[in-house]
Chains A and B, each alone.
Chain A
Amino acid sequence: MKTLEELGNYYNTVLMPELIKLEEQRKQVLKKVCLVNGIVLVVFIAILILLFVIKVPIQAIFFGGFIAAAVIVGIYKWLTSAYVKNFKSGVIENIIHFIDDHLNYARDAYVPSSDFMKSKIFSQHPDRHQGDDYVTGLVGKTRIEFSEIHSEYETRDSKGRSTWHTIFKGLFFIGDFNKHFKGVTVVLPDTAERLFGGFGNFLQKMNVSRGQLIKLEDPVFEKEFVVYGDNQVEARYILSTSLMKRIVDFKKKTGKRVFLSFVGSKIYVAIAFAKDLFEPRVFKTLIDFSQVVEYYQDLELVIGLVEDLNLNLRIWTKE
């Protein structure tokens, strides 16, 4: 891991020229956004007053408001798209290369839903699966890939209105694991046991859809996570005492909900984030070191997984 000082140097030498260019573009984009959306807003208010005068039912006015909001968001996205594109190739891609030169970056790609389902972390099948900021490459000996993911499913009520529910939003990481194994082991945040203690444990045992409950001997780990798998011995082969400790430390470092699974000699890690990651600011200046530090820390968190979980250690039969 690189120091903040090195990042500072990089910021001043490599990123600064990019940021100055982007800042110029940001100001222009901001002007356009304000102008166009201002006009839309004025027109909308004018229509609204007109509708009031001719006494249209209130539902129609709400509906109009909804359309106006959609138009404003659409215009905003359209006007900022070129700026976002430049920002990602100029700033995010450079920060990734600063962390590790061997990594590749694709702005619009993401971990496909097939891989997302293969992880067996989430049992709900997504109806809408989106994402961006896809990173792949080798970190030491370990092949990794990750991206931002937003996965949702749809429900319809009796009137046919649809609602979207988030299955997962955040960073989704896939890495090569350093041991061979055949089965499925899933490590989930432990909510039942923390809430209900021993009774929660009983509930977990009843959760047959997940496979066998695997009780591990590390009390700190057990408090944070619950483990399901199809083989008691294999789960312990994967979750060695040192890996359990490393997972707990990683969870503490992120402060987020962390889900892991081990399937087909691969490790899958999902870190839940509420915010949209690696997006540029439009309403505030870009030339701000603390903002760059934030992008860096979010990226380093995932790329650092290889080191944090010691995935490069290859003393077993897997080369």
Chain B
Amino acid sequence: MLWLLVIVVLVVIFFVSLYNTMIGKKNNVNNTFASIDTLLKKRYDLIPNLVSTVQQYMEHERGTLTEITELRAKAISGNVNENQRVGLENKMNKLLGNIMVAVENYPQLKANENFMQLQRSMNEIEEQISAARRAYNATVTDYNNAVEMFPTNAMASVMKLATRNLFEIPEAQRENVDVKKLFNQK
């Protein structure tokens, strides 16, 4: 009788620990996603500043600047789902990258102290976003492993937990910079 009780208790402890592991991993994923989100919001705060500093100098880039402003407005409006959000971010990354490259054509702008400060802040934010993305991907990998590997996969299917997608590193950042193309872009 006693040993039966011991086995039951052990089994219960086993399942509780499986359950808690899964919850812990799921929360880690949410947590790191939130840190990306905070950093992206920080970047939105910088964008109006950037646009207003840059637009007096960059006449040829007017179109890109308006596009950036529109994207920002859309992203902070709050009525986009997670997938659309990632799409917007990717587009934003690309446009901001273009602006930073185009700066090379405006020596006056490059010497502007206000702009230099902004450029540093943008670099900082980009570096932090990339770190947060890598942290997110690491926790998602950990979580996905638990969802698919035995014995946690059984618990995951009971809890209806599905694997999550990794944050893709935007195509624009993955490509090697083609310097020739940049110079012909004017």
Which residues on A are within 8 Å of B, measured CB to CB? 179, 215-217, 232-234, 236-237, 240, 315-317
Cβ-closest chain A residue relative to B35? A233
B130 sits at the interface (CB 8 A): yes
- Given A240-B130, A240-B131 in contact, is the A232-B138 Cβ separation under 8 Å? yes
B-chain residues with CB within 8 Å of residue A179 when the two chains form the complex: 124, 127
Q: For residue A237, which residues in chain B have a CB less than 8 angstroms away from its CB?
A: 127-128, 131
- Pick 22 A–B contacts, CB within 8 A, sort by A: A215-B138, A215-B142, A216-B134, A217-B138, A232-B138, A232-B139, A233-B32, A233-B35, A233-B131, A233-B132, A236-B130, A236-B131, A236-B135, A237-B127, A237-B131, A240-B131, A315-B120, A315-B123, A316-B123, A316-B124, A317-B120, A317-B121
A217 touches B120 (CB 8 A): no
Contact partner of A234 (CB less than 8 A), chosen from B119, B120, B131, B139, is B131
Interface of A is mostly: loop
Which residue on A lies nearest to B138, using beta carbons?
A215
Q: Chain A nearest CB: distance from B131 CB in Å?
A: 4
CB distance from B109 to the nearest CB of A (A): 17
In the bound complex, do residue A233 and residue B139 qualify as a contact, i.e. CB atoms below 8 Å apart?
no
From B128, B131, B137, name the one whose CB has the most chain A CB atoms within 10 angstroms: B131
Q: What separation, in Å, do the CA atoms of A236 and B135 have in the docked complex?
A: 7
**Secondary structure dominating the interface of B:** helix
**How many residue pairs between the two chains, A and B, have CB atoms under 8 Å in the bound complex?**
41
Docked-complex contact B124 and A232, CB < 8 angstroms: no
CB–CB A232/B127 < 8 A: no
Q: Mark B4-38, 1 if CB is under 8 A from A, else 0.
A: 00000000000000000000000000001001000
Write out the residue numbers on chain A whose beta carbons fall within 8 Å of the beta carbon of B132: 233, 236
For the A-B complex with A234-B131, A236-B131, A317-B121 known, give 4 more contacts whose Cβ atoms are closer than 8 Å: A179-B127, A217-B134, A233-B32, A240-B131
Give every chain A residue within 8 A of B139 (Cβ-Cβ). 232
Quick one: which of B113-127 are within 8 Å of A by CB? 119-121, 123-124, 127
The answer, among B32, B120, B130, for a CB contact under 8 Å with A232, is B32
| CB proximity of A234 to chain B, nearest CB, Å | 7
Q: Which residues of A contact B120 (CB under 8 A)?
A: 315-317
A240: chain B residues within 8 A (beta carbon): 127, 130-131
Task: Enumerate chain A residues within 8 angstroms of B131, measured Cβ to Cβ.
Answer: 233-234, 236-237, 240
How many whole Å from A161's CB to the nearest CB in chain B? 47
Separation of A236 and B36 alpha carbons in the complex (Å): 13
Return A267 CB to nearest CB of chain B, in Å: 16
Q: Within the assembled complex, what's the spacing in Å between the Cα atoms of A315 and B122?
A: 10
| Chain A residues closer than 8 Å to B142, beta-carbon distance | 215
Q: Is the CB of A316 within 8 A of B137?
A: no
Expressed in whole angstroms, the Cα–Cα distance for A236 and B39 within the complex equals 14
Query: Separation in Å of the B140 CB from the closest CB of chain A?
Result: 12
The CA-CA distance from A232 to B141 in the complex, in Å, is 14
Interchain CB contact (< 8 A) of B124 among A216, A233, A236, A317: A317
Q: Which residues of A contact B134 (CB under 8 A)?
A: 216-217, 236
